[in-house]
Amino acid sequence: MTQAARFLVTTALEETWAFDRPVLFLGEWARLHHRREAWRGIDAVVAAPVGMDLVQRRRDFESLQALADRLLQELAASLNTEHRTRHSERYWRIVLGHWLPRYLSLAFNRYRAVECALAEHHVVGTAVLEFKDYTLATRDSLSFLWASNDKVWNHVFYARALQHLGEPEPERRMPARQASGYAMPEATARPKSDLRGRVVSFARNLLPGLRRETDAFILNTHLSRFNEALLQLSLMQVPQLWSSPQPVDAVVDAGRREHLIDVSGTDGFERFARALLCEVLPTCYLEGYPALHAAVEDLPWPARPKFIYTASSFDVDEGFKLWTASKVTQGTPYFAGQHGAGYGSHLYMQTKYVPELTASDAFLTWGWTDGTLQTVPAFIFNAAGLKPRRSIREGGLLLVEASMLNQITHWDNYHEFGLYQEEQFRFAAALPEHIRRQLTVRLHGSHRKFEWADVQRWQDRDPEIVIDTGSETIGRQMERSRLIVYAYDSTGILECLSLNIPVLCFWRDGLNHLSEESQIHYRRLIDVGILVQGPDAVAERVAEVWDNVGKWWDSPEVQEARAAFCDQFARSSPHPVRDLKTLLETLSRRAK
């Protein structure tokens, strides 16, 4: 333990800071880049990030998944009692299967951050704001995701962890403002024309009258809107534009929550997680459940669907999940499709534990299989029907950036993103000058939703770098680019490889986030120089191929490695509608 006495600051809420004594910032998130003038003059240190040991990170992940399974069983029983239902564990896994592990991961991160800071530093005080009637319970699981980044929400969560650990005695302060919730980022989608909106609204009202009660229910397939309509037509049914009911705001009932989960016989983190779960559980699963259930019962969706299929609504679409869980209970086959990178390869994201695999009758992948009947190789839905865009010889260099993640990982992903950002700067600086002048840095579309100050950080490092904040589609940028560099393990890489677009990629942790089985396939990309490890090495690789990207990309060894990798993770289909229809009908017959 360090000997200097310090005042603990848990978030970027500056009214909780101390400016007249030494400070311990719990993490880099507590001193925001765009507010550096406020904290530069403080005598402060930052606590060490938690979860950086990769061996321990993996052990913790497995432990958290095991705890999630136990808690799901207990929570399912409690919610059945509360709602006077007899729903199966599978029902509640469809409904809660994403939220519960995320909650545990977040709670573990917050708990360990406080625990380690208290163990490693001489903390003599902290401040807790007294928000009147504040609740950690969000409306739904999507709200929970964004609450994980909110300063007030996190401040209250950290206060609960400090209270559980029993130190230090906090200073009670009145907040500068009253908080009744948290800031949900506004949508950044391009505005639709009034005419298009009226047409869509008209179709949503008209088309349900043409559906049959036994039509297959298809929603958010990640095919193009045109191909999704063709898929429904091929199944001999009228295409639909379904929309799900949204949960309503509901008043938190602390009395009902108090005994949802038993905390007796536990200690340490598990006791903390169990106790706080009762407070954090989104209202749509308890107080708001009857209203959402009633809205779902009133939907004009098929009463006896042949099957249900989605490639994304299984996560935060509460209305869809409730409806699907009910239909599955009645015997309707339920199929899910892969919606992005990570499935079949990543250790922590889109793993074998997610409910789209564990609670569906079959999961359609982009090529891989785990050898069971559950995983069915299909093709990359996102790129279906798209034509390859080849690079142009005189085009520029496009660097595609990742965005800060929601702070729901059990390790310190804020610290990790800072390391990632430094590698991006190193890559740009290592490029030969004549290539760097042709570099465009494309920020991730969600960068505006986070307080990372991406544009400012790049401008502080190199004012001459061209930054694109999403003013045009990435497809148009690709058409003007000689070469694309993806700086994170993303869906975009798989799309480029599937469409045979010249691409290089690198990411900070090498292959450490990948399963041992999938690393074999990624090493083939390393062997031919598509995947390069380290910012300096990838800058050197760009310079090597720059004068004739096509010669390198079209070489037999590169094309063979690309094709082999795509066969596993990004298969293409010349007939996506026909192939998906065949798969779904075959699975439907098998399920019955």
In 3D, which of 349, 447, 409 has the Cα closest to residue 33?
447
> Out of 2.120.10, 3.40.50, 1.20.1070, 2.60.40, which CATH number does the structure's domain 211-247+285-384+573-591 have?
3.40.50
List the structure tokens of 290.
Answer: 């009857």
In 3D, which of 437, 445, 434 has the Cα closest to residue 401?
445
Distance CA 226, CA 301 (A): 21
> In angstroms, how far apart are the furthest CA atoms of the chain?
74
**Is residue 587 within 8 Å of 558, Cβ to Cβ?**
no
Q: Given this model, what pLDDT does residue 307 score?
A: 98
**Is residue 61 within 8 Å of 127, Cβ to Cβ?**
no
Distance CA 581, CA 235 (A): 7
Geometric angle at alpha carbon 123, from 117 and 128, rounded to 5°: 90
Q: How many CB atoms lie within 10 A of CB 569?
A: 24
Q: Which amino acid is at 575?
A: H
Distance CA 287, CA 290 (A): 7
Distance CA 480, CA 473 (A): 12
Mean pLDDT split into 10-residue runs, the chain, 592 residues: 88 95 97 94 96 97 97 98 97 98 98 97 94 92 96 96 91 78 63 67 78 96 95 96 93 93 93 96 98 96 97 97 97 97 94 96 97 94 80 85 94 96 97 96 92 94 92 87 95 95 93 95 97 96 96 96 97 96 95 80
Distance CA 566, CA 543 (A): 26
Distance CA 370, CA 174 (A): 55
Q: What are phi and psi of 107, to 5 degrees?
A: -60, -40
The beta strand positions in 161-279, using DSSP E, are 171-173, 217-219
In 3D, which of 291, 225, 279 has the Cα closest to residue 254?
279
Q: Given this model, what pLDDT does residue 191 score?
A: 54
Q: Is 508 helix (H, G, I), strand (E, B) or coil?
A: coil
CA 177, distance to chain mean position in Å, is 31
Q: What is the CA radius of gyration of the chain?
A: 25
**Is residue 255 within 8 Å of 278, Cβ to Cβ?**
no
**Is residue 175 within 8 Å of 15, Cβ to Cβ?**
yes
Residue 555: strand pairing partners: none
List the structure tokens of 15.
Answer: 């009214």
Q: Give the start-to-end residue ranges of the domains of the chain.
A: 54-185+250-281, 211-247+285-384+573-591, 396-569
Residue 364: strand pairing partners: 337, 376
Identical fold between 211-247+285-384+573-591 and 396-569:
yes
Q: Given this model, what pLDDT does residue 123 score?
A: 95
- pTM of the complete model: 0.95
DSSP per-residue codes, 57-76: HHHHHHHHHHHHHHHHHHHH
Q: Which amino acid is at 53?
A: D
In 3D, which of 463, 144, 368, 518 has the Cα closest to residue 531?
518
Distance CA 29, CA 46 (A): 10
**Is residue 393 within 8 Å of 478, Cβ to Cβ?**
no
Distance CA 116, CA 475 (A): 45
Q: Given this model, what pLDDT does residue 387 score?
A: 77
Q: Which amino acid is at 239?
A: P
**Is residue 422 within 8 Å of 533, Cβ to Cβ?**
no
Distance CA 74, CA 89 (A): 10
Intra-chain end-to-end CA distance of the chain, in Å: 62
In CATH terms, the superfamily for domain 396-569 is Glycogen Phosphorylase B; (3.40.50.2000)
Residue 168: cis peptide before it, omega within 30 degrees of 0: yes
Q: What are phi and psi of 362, to 5 degrees?
A: -165, 150
Please identify which residue in the block is written with the tokens 């991406």. Answer: 454
Distance CA 205, CA 158 (A): 46
